[in-house]
């Protein structure tokens, strides 16, 4: 996938509690290239990129157009990690890699309980993980070579995932340097 940006844009997605933010933060500190981590959920709250708040589900009803308008200038040059529980709103041209983090549903349940999520929200997210909702969304939205599924259940998984993504970044740089010099 050839893009005009100089550094890759990476989406780290998965059901809440799979380790997206931790993975993204570690990647920023260990990456061979400068990367900026954008926690899209936090951005939605900070910049009020939502229509309203749903008390029943304890979450914001996101205005996708506002989110995309806000993010577009940020991703234009590349080097951005978009960290969010969904990925299908991001245009394919923005995205070089989609990492879908997965976690055993029992472990996920415990992580969400520790965050004091409501029972209804824990059940919904757990069901989403079991049904591979985020993975299917990624596969339907991006080319197969752009989507990778990684287990995220332990510190070893975290380290391995970050190392795999770094290796991917290095390969991306080599491929795009070759494409740039060929043009």
CATH number of the CATH domain containing 113: 3.40.50.300
Mean pLDDT for the stretch of residues 96-116: 96
Please report the pLDDT score of residue 7 as a whole number: 95
36: annotated binding-site residue?
Answer: no
Annotated binding residue at 79? no
Res 161 pLDDT > 50: yes
pLDDT above 70 (res 43): yes
**Residue (of 124, 176, 115) closest to 15 by Cα position:** 124
Question: CA 98 to CA 146: how far, in whole Å?
Answer: 6
| Residue 6 is assigned to a ligand binding site | no
Judge whether 14 is annotated as a binding position: no
**For residue 183, is pLDDT > 70?**
no
Please report whether residue 182 resides in a domain. Answer: no
Residue numbers of the domain that contains 23: 10-40+78-173
Q: Is residue 48 part of a domain?
A: no
Give the pLDDT of residue 8: 97
Tally of domains within the chain: 1
Distance CA 183, CA 181 (A): 5
Q: Helix (H, G, I), strand (E, B), or coil: what is residue 148? A: strand
> pLDDT at position 178, please?
63
pLDDT, tens digit, 9 for 90 and up, residues 81-93: 999 999 999 999 9
Per-residue confidence (pLDDT) for residue 4, from 0 to 100? 73
**pLDDT for res 1:** 40
Q: 2 among the known binding-site residues?
A: no
pTM (2 d.p.): 0.93
On whether 21 is known to bind a ligand per the annotation, the reply is yes
Output the CA torsion 76→77→78→81 (10° steps): -70
Query: Is 167 contained in some domain?
Result: yes
Does residue 98 lie within any of the structural domains?
A: yes
Percent of the chain with pLDDT over 90: 89
Q: Residue 70 falls within a domain, yes or no?
A: no
Q: Average pLDDT, whole number, for the chain?
A: 94
Strand partners, 82: 11, 38
Query: Looking at the domain assignment, is residue 59 inside a domain?
Result: no
Q: Which of 166, 170, 169 is nearest to 158 (CA)?
A: 166
Assigned domain for 179 exists: no
What are the residues facing 50 on neighbouring strands? 62
Please check whether residue 128 lies inside any domain of the structure.
yes
pLDDT tens-digit map of 168-179:
999 999 998 765
């Amino acid at each position: 996938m050839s893009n005009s940006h100089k550094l890759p844009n990476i989406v780290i997605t998965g059901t809440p509690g799979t380790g997206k933010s931790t993975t993204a933060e570690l990647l920023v500190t260990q990456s061979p290239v400068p990367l900026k981590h954008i926690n899209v959920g936090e951005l939605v709250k900070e910049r009020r990129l939502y229509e309203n708040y749903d008390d029943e589900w304890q979450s914001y009803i996101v205005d996708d157009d506002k989110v995309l308008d806000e993010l577009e200038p940020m991703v234009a040059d590349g080097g951005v990690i978009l960290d969010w529980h969904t990925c299908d709103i991001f245009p394919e041209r923005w995205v070089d890699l989609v990492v879908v983090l997965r976690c055993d549903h029992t472990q996920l349940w415990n992580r969400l309980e520790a965050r004091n999520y409501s029972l209804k929200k824990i059940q919904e997210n757990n069901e989403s993980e079991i049904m591979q909702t985020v993975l299917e969304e990624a596969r339907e939205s991006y080319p197969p070579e752009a989507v990778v599924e990684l287990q995220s259940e332990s510190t070893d998984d975290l380290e391995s995932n970050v190392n795999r993504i770094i290796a991917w970044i290095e390969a991306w740089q080599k491929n795009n340097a070759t494409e740039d010099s060929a043009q």
